Amino acid sequence: MKPESKPLRSFSVATTSQDGNLYLVQGDAAFRLGDVETAIWGLSNGKNSIVDIASTLSRDYGIDVKTAMKDVLDFVKQLSDADLLDDE
């Protein structure tokens, strides 16, 4: 995905919360998300671009935008490769 892409959570993914962690469940696979990954997942609604998501993380977690952009691009690619996110 590109920085202007607007990732969208796949409708085939179920979510569940256990022990304070968010899990993405698709078929028989489950993916545990940390705090930052949960924030990225929550902002991946087809309306926010990757730039928007990185800016939000930078503000909310006190990290520089360049680092946030790299982290978001890397994580979104992982989710997209696993068919957990679509590119709106």
Specify the pLDDT at position 19.
Answer: 87
For residue 38 the two structure tokens come to 């949960």
Tokens 């705090």 map to which residue? 35
Q: Could you give the CA distance from residue 29 to residue 23 in angstroms, rounded to a whole number? A: 10
pLDDT of residue 30 exceeding 80, the answer is: yes
Q: Tell me the β-bridge partners of 29.
A: 26
Per-residue pLDDT, 8: 95
Average pLDDT over residues 2-20: 92
Q: What's the pTM value of the predicted model, to 2 decimals?
A: 0.91
- For residue 62, pLDDT over 80 is answered with yes
Average pLDDT for the chain: 93
Token pair, residue 25, equals 């469940």
